[in-house]
Structure 1
């Protein structure tokens, strides 16, 4: 009988806790949509993919990294690890759709980042929404012809789909390899988490079950 009483009490506590959670004001929660940064925001300080303007001797180059959110989010910001190799270091980044396995033309979010000669993480404010289980790309392109930036690699290495192209209208070349360092941040959309009403119904069901057991 003592064991039954303890179990019943514990069940009541769990049910009342769910009711309390359901009654709390539900605010948007900041979260990470996707990240290739290592522990402590670690990333490579010397190796990466070049993003070059047309005036750079290596030739024009854009880069892109594919990511797939596990839940649906409204975007808030994007963080990128990079370093300026030549020129001003200003780079345009865009979150775009996936079109048959390549970066598409639909821009979901965009922003400009200016890197320096020291490897660092730079950010831009983002907006727009991404859906769970859908592929997207973060693309990087030069703003000026004399700019060359190294979009630094992830460390520890995160492998995934990467893309590059040598003109603004060229076909993207796709491969699987080391992704560059970036993080997509957002707020979890309400449909991706249990609604307060769902928690309340679950809690009420638990309370009913506990009461029924106590009457036996």
Structure 2
């Protein structure tokens, strides 16, 4: 191989890498993370329906209903000032420090089914963490605003997200419930933007979309 051929080959490789990086920035992959039953799938469905008319996946009161990451691509969100952001939404399984099959028995499952569900949920958490390490460009971290935000899993996850230097928006969900206290979440994580919403009713989602454009574009 001549020197010219090697130089041309190296130039092509550099240009290929440039193109991949350039086009990757045009579409941001946003992971929706948080504890089980925080409302992640409800929000993913809300975003998808608002901007594409489609849903991402089913919602259930049973914990760990989402056991594999689900993605909806090419969602274009427009802001009031005309700015837009194009994202892929990744709805991830609920992250927790422990999954016990006994919690599924409370929902009427037989023991064998509950054990299988617990194993699938554990695998789902591992998959969600893999996405966070390798394939996520930004995070929406969902919290149930009726619960104490100072849980170990929340502190751990926010720390991991910060260590990766990923942009993050914390969503205080379920403000439609009477015992919601989004102010607790704001005081727990003052270093990050916090948006209080009702994913179920769609309250304050416009504010969330504006924050997504500001932080993820």
Structure-2-length-normalised TM-score: 0.28
Structure number with higher strand proportion: 1
- Please identify the structure whose Cα radius of gyration is greater: 1
Relative contact order higher in (CA < 8 Å, ≥ 6 apart): 1
Structure-1-length-normalised TM-score: 0.28
Structure number with higher helix proportion: 2
